[in-house]
Amino acid sequence: AQSVAQPEDQVNVAEGNPLTVKCTYSVSGNPYLFWYVQYPNRGLQFLLKYITGDNLVKGSYGFEAEFNKSQTSFHLKKPSALVSDSALYFCAVRDPGGTGRRALTFGSGTRLQVQP
Amino acid sequence: GAGVSQSPSNKVTEKGKDVELRCDPISGHTALYWYRQSLGQGLEFLIYFQGNSAPDKSGLPSDRFSAERTGGSVSTLTIQRTQQEDSAVYLCASSLGGPHEQFFGPGTRLTVL
């Protein structure tokens, strides 16, 4: 079975500082990994994904994430946080294997609070 | 272009009543997913449709829940004899399948009194 852990319920960072939102995963094969963001009273918006290739992937709004196979991690990063980045962030995994679930398994979410 | 749309945006119902939630996916997307987001519970997979294949119903919490997808497009999630624990935001997503990302609709907030 596939699973995702987001160990931090909330991350606080000052505007202009770098931010990291942590994610670790468990799948039987090579994973497809995703980050989504949810603003209040809105649906989930796709940020970025890792499928294969370069371990550092870049996405929307200046976000990036690094796939680390040995640590089974896919942490979300941004060099300089903005107040408008404050939102709920979800990491998700999909096992592309033949017996794996085709739908995404989501982490519990991390609330990012960027202080002015 | 148009994104995923869901209706109604809000639904308040009484315990024991049946409800139907609708999802219009992005045109051309072969895969359609239903998830449930409960307060403090995160996102929970319910059901997945891919083309003409049999749906993956492994996430449905009970036999009161069912879903269909007509003509490979619009999907309806039906909850029979609603219970208070069914109260949640029901999210629909669609994708091109495979490694492609899912695009989510705004959700239907269901409140069972």
pLDDT tens figures, A28-85: 888 899 999 999 877 899 999 999 889 999 999 999 999 999 999 999 999 999 999 9
Asked whether the beta carbons of B5 and B107 are under 8 A apart, the reply is no
Q: In whole numbers, what is the pLDDT of chain A averaged over residues?
A: 92
pLDDT surpassing 60 at residue A99: no
Q: How many CB atoms lie within 10 A of CB B80?
A: 14
Tokens matching residue A72: 């089974």
Instruction: For A110, name the nearest residue in chain B, comparing CA atoms only.
Output: B42
Question: With bands split at pLDDT 50, 70 and 90, how would you rate the model's confidence at B21?
Answer: very high
Whether B20 has its CB under 8 Å from any CB of chain A: the answer is no
Containing B53, the helix (H) or strand (E) segment is none
What percent of chain A stands above pLDDT 70? Answer: 96
In eight-state DSSP terms, residue B56 is: B
Q: What is the pLDDT of residues B27-65, one digit of tens each?
A: 999 999 999 998 766 899 999 998 888 899 999 999 999
Asked whether the beta carbons of A83 and A68 are under 8 A apart, the reply is no
Instruction: For A6, name the nearest residue in chain B, comparing CA atoms only.
Output: B42
Supply the pLDDT for residue A101.
63
Q: Which of A10-14, A55-59, A95-99 has the lowest mean pLDDT?
A: A95-99
Whether B67 has its CB under 8 Å from any CB of chain A: the answer is no
Could you tell me where the DSSP H helices lie in A19-114? none
Instruction: For B41, name the nearest residue in chain A, comparing CA atoms only.
Output: A108
Q: Do B106 and A96 touch (CB under 8 A)?
A: no
Supply the pLDDT for residue A65.
97
Measured on CA atoms in the order A105, A108, A111, A112, is the torsion positive or negative? negative
How distant is the Cα of B7 from the closest Cα of chain A, in angstroms? 13
> B90 pairs with which residues across the strands?
B36, B108
Supply the pLDDT for residue B63.
96
State the Cα torsion A44-B77-B61-A29 to the nearest 10°. -50
Residue B30: strand, helix, or coil: coil
Q: Which residue has the tokens 């609603």?
A: B82
